[in-house]
Structure 1
Amino acid sequence: MLIEEAHDCGACYAAVCDLVGISLRTLQRWKKSTNLTDRRKGSRKIIPRKLSEETRAEVITVCTSKRFCDYSPHEIVPLLLNEGLYIASVSSFYRVLRGNNLQHHRSNLKPRKKSVRPPEKQATASDTVWCWDITWLPSTVRGRFYFAYVIIDIYDKFIVGWAIHEDEREYHSRDLFERTLSGRKNIEFLSLHSDNGSPMKGATLLAFLNGLNVSISFSRPRTSNDNPFIESFFKTLKYNDKYPLKFASILHAREWMASFVEWYNNEHLHSSIGYVTPSQMRNGDAANIFKLRNLTMEAAKIKYPERWGRRKLKKWDASEKVILNKEKK
């Protein structure tokens, strides 16, 4: 109306539209529209499905009444339907209750606790962050298993300690760490991550680790992704073509495990550390290996430039840091 009034007084539409902050095309569209609504962001809109204030008040009255005060909306709605009365959906009941701070835990059971993601740990060198876990090794006797305790360094993927026992006990765990750390000099063992089973949370083991000022963290229940490095090792272990499906005795299991760890540490070309062995990564030989690979690639590109064109050479190097349970941003 104001635009038409200005136009009647002699102003052109383009100048008036520019003054009020709209385009001439918008004005033309408004004139052609028979059902004009304000669709600007932030404008007041009519939401057909929105509950009226009267309905919201009725929901609160019903839920707080003496009859339904101990029922949940999942029970209230069908009971009302049995009487031929519909007020709102179950989700609407919950939404109204939350909006008025009327939804609280009232059961005799303890409220469910939300599992907190383990803290992020970064390894920038060997012997800074270790992970460990226990896996089952089947025996030839049906229903009987041996238990492999394994510790891995997440930076160089080196198996720093292992043991096999006939049961899962906390004192086996402490014995493993005591034997692994005995005789090691200048070790900077800072962090340890594990599953949350009883062998990992034993009082004597935790006391031993706390005495070394080790930062300890645990995976969430039934969340294998919280401990991916040791789980990846277990997959390599059990999908190896020489893995016995069953072990005749605990001595058989220990002998095979010893040979496998020897192969894994000293011969296995690990993909996540640039296809060098964990031992080469741990003792520093990987840097010279990567340097030789890069020099060979540069010489090959000079000799056969047409094979690369404009593509850059693949650079072989070691990761500066390995992150466990990386925080999402």
Structure 2
Amino acid sequence: MARYSREKKEHALALMSAPENLPVSTVASRTGIPEATLYLWRNRARASGRAVPGNGQNAEDWSGADKFAVVLETAALSEAELGEYCRRKGLYVEQVKAWRQACEEANTVTGERVTPAQRAQEKKRVRELEKELRRKEKALAETAALLVLSRKPRGALERKRGRMTALPERQELVKEIRTAHAAGARLARACAEAGLSVRTYERWCVPEGVRDDGRPKAVRPPPAQKLSPEERQTILEVCCEPRFADLPPSQIVPRLADEGVYLASESSFYRVLREADAQHHRGRQRAPSQRQPVRHVATGPKQVWSWDVTYMPSLTRGLFFYLYAVIDIYSRKLVAWEVHEKEGGDEAAALIERATWREQLRGKPLILHADNGAIQKSYTLKAKLESLGITPSHSRPSVSDDNAHIEAWFRTCKYMPGYPANGFASIDAAREWTHRFVTWYNTEHFHSGLAFVTPETRHRGEDRRILERRRQVYAAAREQHPLRWKRHTRAWVAPECVWLNPPAKAEEAAQTRKAA
């Protein structure tokens, strides 16, 4: 082992002390002394109370032991000696004084001594806080994962129990649930958000991947009451006999019953004939057909109008006046009306044109629905609608309820208490009464289909503000007397969209989203 002189050892310690404060590695490269030896000398110097940082850092970044060593070295020095020491060590007097004050404060007892019981209680409280923090972090991660899962599109139809799910849809659902579960969501919560039960999810998941729905490919035994092939052949042979060849099953079955023969029910006869391609429409009568009604949806005013003409009786028997009326199905506002002495396409065309100018709809898309009468389909009106850019729409032939909104308005009009059921004295009297009624209907009548706001308010878009104020009034009343409400308060919500001939609920929801 190499031995070093005292002078060389002091030189190395001076390099590691202030003001040089060189790192041990630098001192080792300069002096050729191994770093382990330098570390040993530095530790012994520190143990003797000497400040030997040996880390190359600024004085403020020294360790507490080095700062305390400086305080010990300068404790007995006068102000002049302290100044000389600080200059030799590359320190400031204020630094040394601050370190000295810190040492004094550290040794000052400022509070009561902590007992072991208090320390244990504090550790227990820390463990509980850490446990609560972990729980909240898990809950936050689960909420975020479920939020991402809830934003995934699920299709137009809601998921119901027993509904068959195609394999691609199953794979997508399983992938989304697994992603949410890996992100921190509990499996039950993720399945519930996707519309599945945990049992269904486990049944779908197999080691090979995702199991397909086996119901379409399942082999099921035939029903016990099913007709045998021989019985089906007998029905076909009976229907093809010369005496029954021109008769439908509704005539064949009772004739066989009169003969004391029962082969099958009437519906079974029809089913067997259809499966054998032996049941078709015959005769000159046109085959029955079911036409779907014309459907339109309005999500705001000035989108879909409905119009019609109704009779207004006069005092002379057989003489009528004719009320032309146009209603906006969204707001139920009567946007135009006129009373004439005759029905005609010219009067209807002029009325529609004035209504579009009044509502400032020139060049804007509009659907105008009407019945299937001669006036509603006249060439004059058709040409006017084309020039105005209005899309015509008509009800099915011989169907009276395809234009329900305007028909409901006519009923409200004619069943008013002041309506002269015996007839109007003149056309001016009819116009005057209609003007008063339309003004009342648009501006004062609280419509039940609009959450009881006036059509004019709905037409101007002010109904949301009024309904919100009503909800606030009911909420305040419920807070004042909560026992008077067993469930929720009155909704006060007007429909966001209005349908002309609404479809089924599922189809309506899908088409409403498409229209929006």
Normalising by the smaller structure, the TM-score range is 0.7 to 0.9
SS in 1 for 2:499: strand
Which digits, 9 at most, give the CA deviation of each residue in 1:1-53, with x for residues without a partner? xxxxxxxxxxxxxxxxxxxxxxxxxxxxxxxxxxxxxxxx9434432xx5443
Given the two structures, how large is their TM-score scaled by the length of structure 1?
A: 0.74
Residue in 1 that maps onto 2:450: 273
The answer on 1:162 being equivalent to 2:337 is yes
**Structure 1 or 2: larger helix share?**
2
**Distance apart, 1:254 and its partner CA:** 1.8
Matches within 5 A, 1:312-327: 312-314=488-490, 316-327=492-503
What aligned pairs does 1:118-129 form with structure 2 within 5 A after superposition? 118-119=294-295, 121-129=296-304
Is 2:353–2:388's contact at 8 Å kept on the other side of the alignment? no
Instruction: Letter of the 1:46 partner, please give it.
Output: A
Cα 1:291–1:71 shift into 2, 3 Å: closer
2-structure distance, mates of 1:269, 1:107: 54
Greater displacement, 237-246 / 136-145: 136-145
Partner deviation per Cα, 1:84-111 (whole Å, 9 max, x = no partner):
7665554333222112111111211221
What one-letter code is carried by the residue in structure 1 that aligns with 2:310?
Answer: T
Q: Distance in 2 between matches of 1:310 and 1:71?
A: 63
Q: How much has 1:295 moved relative to structure 2?
A: 4.2
**Which residue does 1:181 correspond to in 2?**
356
Matched ranges for 1:50-69 at <5 A: 50-69=226-245
Q: CA deviation at 1:74?
A: 3.5
Please give the TM-score of this superposition, normalised by the length of structure 2.
Answer: 0.49
- Contact 2:478 2:485 survives alignment (8 Å): no
Q: Aligned residue for 2:267?
A: 91
Partner of 1:257: 434
Given residue 274 of structure 1, which amino acid in structure 2 is its aligned partner? A
- State how far apart, in whole Å, the 2-side matches of 1:254 and 1:218 are: 27
Change (3 A) 1:309 1:236: closer
Superposed displacement of residue 264, structure 1? 0.9
1:239 maps to 2:415? yes
Deviation of 1:130 after TM superposition, in Å, equals 0.8
Query: In structure 2, what is the Cα distance between the partners aligned to 1:242 and 1:147?
Result: 18
Q: 2:366 aligns with which of 173, 190, 193?
A: 190
Tell me, yes or no, if structure 1 residue 106 matches structure 2 residue 282: yes
Structure 2 counterpart of 1:229: 405
The percentage of counterpart residues that share the same residue type is 41
Which has the higher Rg, Structure 1 or Structure 2? 2
Aligned to 2:346: 171
Q: Which runs of 5+ in 2 are unaligned?
A: 1-218, 507-516
Q: 1:45–1:58: structure 2 CA closer, same or farther, 3 Å change rule? A: closer
Unpaired segments ≥5 residues, structure 1: 1-40
- Paired residues of 1:129 and 1:189 also in contact (CA < 8 A): no
The 5 A counterparts of 1:22-101 are 42-47=220-225, 50-77=226-253, 87-101=263-277
Evaluate the alpha carbon distance shift between residue 309 and residue 269 of structure 1 in structure 2; reply closer, same or farther with a 3 A threshold. Answer: closer
The Cα shift of 1:128 comes to 0.8
Q: Secondary structure at the match of 1:182?
A: helix
How many angstroms apart in 2 are the aligned matches of 1:57 and 1:300?
Answer: 74
Q: CA deviation at 1:153?
A: 0.5
1:323 Cα offset (Å): 2.3
CA contact (8 A) 1:118 1:226 kept: yes
Match of 2:313 in 1: 138
Q: CA 1:283 to 1:83, structure 2 compared with 1: closer, same or farther past 3 Å?
A: closer
- Range moving further from structure 2, 125-134 or 135-144: 135-144
Tell me the alpha carbon deviations over residues 174-197 of structure 1, each in whole angstroms, 9 at most, x when there is no partner. 222122223542564522222222
Q: Please list the CA deviations of residues 288-326 of structure 1 after superposition, one character each: whole Å capped at 9, or x if unmatched.
A: 433443444444445x23455675444545433222222
How far is 1:129 from its partner?
1.0
Q: Please, which moves more after superposition, 181-190 or 137-146? A: 181-190
Count matched residues. 285
Is residue 115 from structure 1 mapped to residue 291 from structure 2 by the alignment? Answer: yes
In structure 2, relative to structure 1, the CA distance for the partners of 1:314 and 1:55 (3 Å cut) is: closer
Deviates more, 1:245-254 or 1:207-216: 207-216
SS in 2 for 1:191: strand
SS in 2 for 1:150: strand
C-alpha separation in 2, matches of 1:93 and 1:311: 54
Separation in 2 of the partners of 1:51 and 1:315?
55
Match of 2:375 in 1: 199
Shift of residue 327 of structure 1? Answer: 1.9
Question: Against the structure 1 CA distance between its residues 46 and 113, is the aligned structure 2 distance closer, same or farther, given a 3 Å change threshold?
Answer: closer
Aligned CA distance change for structure 1 residues 311 and 89 (closer, same or farther; 3 Å)? closer
Q: Which amino acid in the other structure matches residue 99 of structure 1? A: E
Structure 2 residue matching 1:253: 3-state secondary structure: helix
Structure with higher RCO (Cα < 8 A, 6+ apart): 1
Q: Distance in 1 between matches of 2:456 and 2:470?
A: 18
